[in-house]
Amino acid sequence: MDLQEYLKSVESLVDKSLFRYFGDAPGKLDKASAHLLLAGGKRLRPAMVMLAAEAVQKRSSDRIFPAALALELTHTFTLVHDDIMDNDSFRRGVPTVHTVWDEATAILAGDVLYARAFELICKAEAEPAAKVRAISMLAKACEEICSGQSDDMVFETQDEVTRGEYLDMVRKKTGALYAAAAGVGAVLGGGTPQQVEALHNLGMTTGIAFQIQDDLIDLLTPKDASGKDRASDLRAGKKTLIAIVAAGKGIDLAPYKRNLTDDEIDHLIRELEAAGVIDEVRQIALDLVRKAKAGLSVLHESEEKQLIIEMVDFFVTRGF
């Protein structure tokens, strides 16, 4: 099975399971909680959980599958809250939760998803000590995500953000949850301490690369292809790696912190490409991925290890 076939199979399994758990939401809050969760998605974090488990112990992903769902719920809870803070109106091709209902309901909906994620991870079949460690990993990741989101918001009011500050923010905001996905899968699957550490580190590093690619997608991909508002980071004045690299080349993106036409966005993209900004940002993501793959030497050769390597490469090629 190649990576795309595997991801499609995980996506289908996760979609069916989520619909079984959340498809008959009876009340307003339950419907709001299920809204974005059932809107689709690539389900990459559940796939990472399952591949990490299989890479350390064959046929372990079935018994730890609830943990894979827990990572998807955690991810979705962060999206619901992010959309409120960023005032985005579309996500995954549907109106965001706070635009369908209201901000208060959306906050509570995200909180419900957060709580249910921990309920699900407790349903994984594993040794009690492994479950405690997995729960601790997920809790720590949630704390890091909040810290990273706070940093991201603070950056909007700073005149300058260094490349190091940005990468540390992304490590917490995005890398931490991918690290948890790989680490949770490895520890619940029965991996050795060295295997768990290697997969946790891989998730962290590739999560940073994933966010860099997400920043590129936000700018370069039309709304009908990405399912999100185009150039929302630019309009919000976010200090992405694109903005930081552009500033280093004398291109100030601050004047674009406003409503923009497609022609204005296209003109800016051409300017950034001509200055080498887009290529430099992509290369940083590629270098991170190369470093992440080098740490997998502690895993035995297997189909799952190869799929993890292919998935890491996919993180910096998706969207285009």
- 154 Cβ contact list (under 8 Å, min separation 6): none
CA angle 224, 31, 225 (to 5 degrees): 10
Beta pairing class for 94-95 and 90-91? antiparallel
Q: What kind of architecture, by CATH, is found in domain 3-313?
A: Orthogonal Bundle (1.10)
Asked whether residue 320 carries a pLDDT value surpassing 60, the answer given is no
* Position 25 confidence tier, pLDDT thresholds 50, 70, 90: confident
Boundaries of every domain in the chain: 3-313
What pLDDT, in 10s, does the model give residues 157-204? 888 899 999 999 999 999 999 999 999 999 999 999 999 999 999 999
How many of the other CB atoms lie within 10 Å of CB of 171?
19
Q: What is the pLDDT of residue 228?
A: 65
Closest to 316 measured CA to CA, from 291, 282, 269: 282
Average pLDDT for residues 261-277, to the nearest whole number? Answer: 93
Q: What is the mean pLDDT of residues 302-320?
A: 87
Which of 210, 211, 208, 235 shows the shortest CA–CA distance to 223? 235
Q: Which residues partner with 90 through β-bridges?
A: 95
Helix (H, G, I), strand (E, B) or coil at 78: helix
204, 198 Cβ separation under 8 angstroms:
no
Calpha distance 320→317 (Å, rounded): 7
Average pLDDT over residues 242-266: 91
Which are the contacts of 216, defined by CB distance < 8 A and separation ≥ 6? 242, 278, 281, 282, 319, 320
Q: Measured between alpha carbons, how far is 219 from 230 in angstroms, rounded to an integer?
A: 6
Which pLDDT band holds residue 55 (cuts at 50, 70, 90)? very high
Query: Where does the pLDDT of residue 224 fall: very low under 50, low under 70, confident under 90, or very high at 90 and above?
Result: low
Residue 95, beta-bridge partner list = 90
What's the mean pLDDT in 93-104? 92
| Per-residue pLDDT tens over the stretch 63-89 | 999 999 999 999 999 999 988 988 888
How high is the pLDDT of residue 65? 97
Note the pTM of the prediction, 2 decimals: 0.88
